[in-house]
Amino acid sequence: MKTSSVLLSLMILLGTGTAFSQSGSAKQVTWIFSSKKITEKKYEVSITATIAGDYHLYAQDGGVEGPIPTKISFLPNPLLTLEGKTIERGKKISKVESVWGGKVNFYNKTVTFVQIVGAKTKAKTMLNGNIEFMVCNDDLCLPPSEVTFKIAIGQ
């Protein structure tokens, strides 16, 4: 009898862990990565987020402390230089949300993050990095997620 109780408890715990690991902000955002050559040694890297349903994705400057702002980190590559800051293209919404105690900045549906990259040579290479982000709707916030990426440069 004890064995079946332990087995049942273990199955419940495993089921709960699986459900939790499949939830989170990553389930609500689809990412598309691309680069295009704009001059001989400059590329425009685009990272586009498509946000599902009634969720919103926080801007890089989320506004107040509380919501996790979108943070894009690029890994060092000796063949590439980042030029300027990553900019956002989309319809940014700035709204006072009482739950956060102030004005927050976010995007509904879609936003594209753009980074200009300089290439030191004509060699083909990859721009690698990760994105940390969080989505919320009017009822709840999902746990933050992280996505890694590799974007071809010069190919």
- C-alpha 9/C-alpha 15 separation (Å) is 10
The CATH code belonging to domain 2-153 is 2.60.40.1250
List, for residues 26-60, the tens digit of each pLDDT value. 899 999 999 999 999 999 999 999 999 999 999 99
Kindly indicate the confidence band of residue 110, based on its pLDDT and cuts at 50, 70 and 90. very high
Looking at residue 9, its pLDDT comes to 33
Distance (Å) of CA 61 to CA 25, 57, 71, 143, 145: 18, 11, 9, 18, 17
Kindly indicate the confidence band of residue 24, based on its pLDDT and cuts at 50, 70 and 90. confident
Kindly indicate the confidence band of residue 99, based on its pLDDT and cuts at 50, 70 and 90. confident
Looking at residue 118, its pLDDT comes to 96
Looking at residue 14, its pLDDT comes to 32
Residue 39's contacts (CB-CB under 8 Å, 6 or more residues apart) are none
- pLDDT (mean) for 97-123: 94
User: Per-residue pLDDT for 78 more than 60?
Assistant: yes
- pLDDT (mean) for 2-18: 33
Looking at residue 124, its pLDDT comes to 94
Contact 145, 30 (CB under 8 A): no
Domain boundaries, the chain: 2-153
Q: Which residues make beta-bridge pairs with 107?
A: 57, 92
Task: Return the biggest CA–CA distance within the chain.
Answer: 73
